[in-house]
Amino acid sequence: MKLLEYEAKKILAKYGIPTPRGDLATNTAQACEIAKNLKPPIAIKAQVPVAGRGKAGGILFVDSVAEVEKAAEKLFSVQIKGFPVRSLWIEERIYAEKELYFGVTVDRLNKGYVVIASAEGGMEIEEVAAKTPGKVIRFPLKAPYGFRPYHARQIAKRMGYTENQLSTLANIFYNLYKAGMYYDAELIEMNPLVETSDGNFLAVDARIIIDDNALFRHPEFKGRVLESELSPQEVEAARNDLAYVKLDGNIGVIGNGAGLVMATLDAIQLYGGKPANFLDVGGGAPSEKIAAALKIVFSDPAVKALFINILGGITRCDEVARGILKAKEKLGIKKPMVIRLVGTNEEEGKQILMEAGIPVLDSMEEAAHQVVEIVKGT
């Protein structure tokens, strides 16, 4: 789960990490009221769960309270990377003498956490690593020791700081690590963490991504999975207990089992196609769940054709077939579907679909090739 900036900053403040003065507005009038209590210049920041808001026009700076209304109205009327802006974070703009980066994330290759820091903040850390890898500090964390205060001091020293600034910066680093561990973060970062002209440090922007599997430990965020910051397809998938990920292609994909769906995506790309999504209905999916999956996939206007790939074990092929027909009739689906059914009650499932005039294939490779050719118009 991706927290919004204001949520991440509240967590940072809870752990004693300095952030600029600000507050949350859900309409233009609130934005103007908040701005009256702040010292210009003022930053107006769209609260959407994506990185790169600045480049996408989601952060505006104004020099007076009078300009806040116009800027807020502009942001409330746009979408940032496909997400509507429903709230704004209004805060004092901070001018930096220097911008730093510090974050803790999961290192899946080494099955642990890794601390990443750089004296070149303010841009994507991947960009810094690609252009100037020597300026990125990587510090893998080893169990059971984790990240200790003396580790934080070592990193601050490597970034060129001494005396009081070193101690202050080390405390910020260590507190961020503690926050990340408490909230089961897959990623927690400050970018930029700015050094001001008076030698102090403030986290101007922050990101936290919480491991979905740990949300039972953080009930305060439980309701967030159905919030409007999610795409319509993600909201509907969450309601129906379906695993859905939006991709950038035009061939919809439904399968049962994450491995099978991943193999289906690979097969489509092997034949020159581009998958529009990942959707796993899981094991033993009843017809209602299959119908819900079709509704979600076809609600994406980019989808030109659908590939349904079912390997029946505890999932019954006849139930899948009934779900397909139910959705086809209810939604009035006209777009082409390529279906591969193999496994439990395979013959019954094929019979149901063939009687409705829908062909069924046995080979995943043949089905993948066919759906790609359909989309290409050949």
Active site residues: 101, 189
How many C-alpha atoms does 152 have within 13 Å on its Cβ side?
A: 21
CA–CA dist 366, 134 (Å, integer):
48
308: which 2 tokens? 């349904």
* CA-based nearest residue to 297, from 312, 309, 311, 314: 309
* CA-based nearest residue to 276, from 309, 292, 299: 299
Instruction: Find the DSSP H helices in 333-363.
Output: 346-355
274: which 2 tokens? 């581009």
Q: Are 324 and 306 in contact (CB under 8 A)?
A: no
CB-based burial label for 118 (10 Å; 0-12, 13-18, 19+): buried
Q: Answer left, alpha or beta for residue 377, where phi above 0 means left and psi between -120 and 50 means alpha.
A: left
Q: Are 22 and 90 in contact (CB under 8 A)?
A: yes
Q: What phi and psi values does residue 208 have, to the nearest 5 degrees?
A: -135, 130
Q: What phi and psi values does residue 168 have, to the nearest 5 degrees?
A: -65, -45
3-state secondary structure 29-67: HHHHHHHHCCCCCEEEEECCCCCCCCCCCCEEEECCHHH
DSSP-assigned beta bridge partners for residue 44: 60, 90
Q: What is the dihedral of CA 358, 364, 365, 371, to 10 degrees?
A: 40
Going 342 to 346 to 347 to 349, the CA torsion angle's sign is: negative
Going by the DSSP 8-state scheme, the letter that residue 15 receives in this structure is T
